[in-house]
Structure 1
Amino acid sequence: MELTGEFEFGHEDRSRIYDHVERHGSIDPKRLRKALDIDPRGFGHHVAILKRDGVVEEVDGELRIAFEDADEEEFRADGVDCTIRQARQEDLTGLVGAIRDVAEEGTYIEAETVADVIDHEEVLLRHNELESRIFFVATVNDDVVGWVHLDVPEVGKLAHTAELTVGVLDEYRGRGIGNRLLDRGVDWADENGYEKIYNSIPATNQTAVDFLESNEWETEAVREDHYKVDGRYVDEVMLARRL
């Protein structure tokens, strides 16, 4: 399912099913039917239509939102076998841990905020009337070692933009994984019709600024003393790339 911003399902119960799955990330169909108090025959009919239309899917016995899943990319990165793929709900714990590890130095506040949100909501992928978000992860031996995340407002005047965060665990940097993750995020935004992606980074994280600038991002603005890290005021560097 591509992100379109359209949420008309032709029947109130189908809308209720979608909304419940979207809020919970992944849920057993029996629990969902009981929670919504829909008769079994009608519930089965509506779920079948949502599956047919590519809106929801059933994985390991649970329903989840069916984003269009790009092919997995497997490659060898400086002696390490790595896979880049779309994140799944079961990646949540590992993904939160990876983001927090990258952000703990206090040099990636936006990523830290993303980790706080998904940890609180316990849902990775979102697609509703207000927002959409998607993650791709880099894994080594099924462990998350990096990510790229895009958060998309569904508000009309901002719907052409997407906020991106990207990061790789320290021990896996310098192997080209970050570049591949960034490319995956940029390609996804371009394929889905977004015109501009942006990222905000503390000025103290010059490595991240250099990394984005080397990938055709440009500094659009600097907000002085926007962050306060360990008692010190730090400027925010706002970077963007037009697609």
Structure 2
Amino acid sequence: MGAPADLEFEDAIQQRIYHHVETSGAATIGEVRDEVRIDSPSGSKPARSGTTEPRVRIPAEEFHNSVAALVDSGLLVQSEGELHLAMDDDVEEYDETDLSYRIRQAHQSDWRGIETAIREVADEGASISAKRVAADIGDEGALLRRNDRRSRMFYVATVTGGENDGEVAGWVHLDAPELDELRHTAELTVGVRGPYREHGIGGRLLERAMNWAAETDFTKVYQSLPATNETAIELLQDYGWETEAVRPDHYLVGDEFVDEVMMARKL
């Protein structure tokens, strides 16, 4: 899954199946077949109102052939009866003092944990942009997006073992804008929840996202941070990011005005 591009489908049915899954985040085979409907074949019983054609389910063989074609083309993945956007299957395992965790691409089931993590970090004033990200995924419902106008990727760090097994410890997010003139760029946010800091999670999430961006058509990543978030600024600098501009007193955090530091890295 890369930068926004013109997706190609063999027919309108494949396009509609993909659109339903992409906007839902994930859906079972049964849900997709129930929701994606076509006009009733001519000659069938007219709609009760007599004014509109009835909508019917796609014939089973045609539906399953369309799903198989989308999977074969690498646009969708079918797993345990669900369809979702093609995933990055690589999982990285880490064992640090007092904490074990894995880093992987986010699944739709991580939605609530990611939203919680983002809001916790945003409420600290560490990332103003993250508040908008939380609002976006809250409104849309889908974590990962890939269509001809935009692309959005999430990676997560999740705890392994113990009573908090599976809990989202941190995230990194890349979002490509809809404007054609900016499709080569992606905005990045990264954050780690307070109890899980000082275990290398932030740097490893950032590295995973940067590797992914380098393998796609993006040529520049950027983000804006409050100047008070010195830890994040230093982390980005360690990974080759540069400050492009500083806007004085751009944020109002609590009762204090804070500078905005605009950072970027070319790929």
TM-score (norm 1): 0.93
SS across alignment from 2:27: coil
Corresponding residue to 1:195 among 219, 236, 250: 219
Q: How many residues align?
A: 242
Alpha-carbon separation, structure 1, partners of 2:261 and 2:246? 5
Q: Which has the higher contact order (CA 8 A, sep 6+)?
A: 2
- TM-superposed deviation, 1:15: 0.6
Whether the 8 Å contact between 2:3 and 2:176 is mirrored in structure 1 is no
SS across alignment from 2:243: strand
Q: How does 1:90-239 map to 2 (within 5 A)?
A: 90-140=109-159, 141-239=165-263
Alpha carbons of 1:57 and 1:75: their partners in 2 closer, same or farther (altered >3 Å)? same
Residue 7 (1) aligns with residue 31 (2): no
Q: Deviations over 1:87-119 (max 9, x none)?
A: 100011111111111111123111121111112
TM-score (norm 2): 0.85
Whether the 8 Å contact between 1:201 and 1:238 is mirrored in structure 2 is yes
Q: Deviations over 1:50-98 (max 9, x none)?
A: 011111112232211113x141110112231111111100011111111
Whether the 8 Å contact between 1:83 and 1:139 is mirrored in structure 2 is yes
- TM-superposed deviation, 1:214: 2.2
SS across alignment from 1:63: strand
Q: Deviations over 1:135-174 (max 9, x none)?
A: 1111112111011111112533212111111111112111
Unmatched runs of 5 consecutive residues or more in structure 2? 38-57, 160-164
Whether the 8 Å contact between 2:3 and 2:218 is mirrored in structure 1 is no
Cα RMSD for the two superposed structures: 1.6
Alpha-carbon separation, structure 2, partners of 1:43 and 1:151? 31
Identity value in percent: 48
Name the residue aligned to 2:75.
55
Alpha-carbon separation, structure 2, partners of 1:3 and 1:43? 28
Whether the 8 Å contact between 2:3 and 2:216 is mirrored in structure 1 is yes
Higher Rg: 2
* Range with bigger deviation, 140-149 or 150-159: 150-159
- TM-superposed deviation, 1:39: 2.4
- TM-superposed deviation, 1:16: 0.8
Q: Deviations over 1:114-133 (max 9, x none)?
A: 11111221111000122111
Whether the 8 Å contact between 1:200 and 1:239 is mirrored in structure 2 is yes
Residue 41 (1) aligns with residue 65 (2): no
AA aligned opposite 1:135: F
Corresponding residue to 2:108 among 89, 109, 114: 89
Alpha-carbon separation, structure 2, partners of 1:214 and 1:123? 32
* Range with bigger deviation, 200-209 or 11-20: 200-209
Alpha-carbon separation, structure 1, partners of 2:109 and 2:176? 22
4+ residue segments displaced more than 3 Å: 1-4
Alpha-carbon separation, structure 1, partners of 2:17 and 2:123? 38
